[in-house]
Amino acid sequence: MHWVFIGELHGSNETPAAFRDLVCDAMAQGKHVTVALERPTSEQAALDNILTAKDLSAAQELLLQLPGWKEVMDGRASKAMLRLLVSLRELRRLQPDVKVVAFDAPYAGPPAAAPREEAMGHALLSLSPAKPNDLVLILTGNLHAMQASKRGYDLAAMYLPPKQILSLEVTDRGGESWSESTEDGCGPSKGGVGDKGAKKPYGIFLDPSLAPFGKVDGVLSLGVPLTSSPPAAGEPSPIPACRKKFLSEHQTVPKNP
């Protein structure tokens, strides 16, 4: 297993924080981690700058001037996502080979769905791990993480070797996420993604029947309601610490065969 998809509902505080914990967990298990984020590939230089710049505030300001942060308000450019990037910068100090890679189509307005999925899939395929301990952790919208499609075209995860991926759908206890689909445009939207009434606690559960949408291998249950994370909008981002109890203490992600 080389690629792990975490399929989220964009715009919450909780999912980026849980994803950061998963990165911490993988590092603690001795994995060489590449983090793949649903950001336009045109942002790669700015993401690299966040990780390496001496002046973090200036690096954040440059990132937030890009179209994908100024013009996209569906939760992918949230304060929580910016906090995640800052956290990854700190984790990279502990393990310098941690990489952060943008894999979405370059931002130029809403791209056609099928070509975008293909571009995302090929970008992820290009990250094929070279060593057994290499692991690609992918944070993306839940649709892109599904292993089957009823839309007439392949989704991003379907471009990867099926036996080498693990797809997890993020579930929660309701709450709110930042969305472009509210009546007034952008803002907190009630909802969430439940696990078919099971109300699992925090952890990874490798049971496909718990996933409410599509074909995946299981769920990453947050065990709490979502809270909305608004656009980053140039706000400085504090550095959160890793969770003391890693996800592996709840359910270990399968090791490479």
Question: Would you give the DSSP letter of residue 222?
Answer: -
CA dihedral 95, 29, 251, 177 (to 10 degrees): 10
- Chain centre to alpha carbon of residue 106: 17
Confidence at residue 74, expressed as pLDDT on a 0 to 100 scale: 80
pLDDT tens-place string over residues 92-127 = 999 999 999 999 987 666 668 999 999 999 999 999
pLDDT tens-place string over residues 28-77 = 999 999 999 999 999 999 999 999 999 999 999 999 999 889 887 788 99
Q: Which residue has the tokens 């993604």?
A: 193
Confidence at residue 184, expressed as pLDDT on a 0 to 100 scale: 55
Which tops the pLDDT comparison, 190 or 22?
Answer: 22
Confidence at residue 239, expressed as pLDDT on a 0 to 100 scale: 46
Q: pTM (2 decimals)?
A: 0.88
**Domains in the chain with CATH codes:** 3-249 (3.40.50)
Confidence at residue 164, expressed as pLDDT on a 0 to 100 scale: 96
Confidence at residue 246, expressed as pLDDT on a 0 to 100 scale: 44
Confidence at residue 251, expressed as pLDDT on a 0 to 100 scale: 44
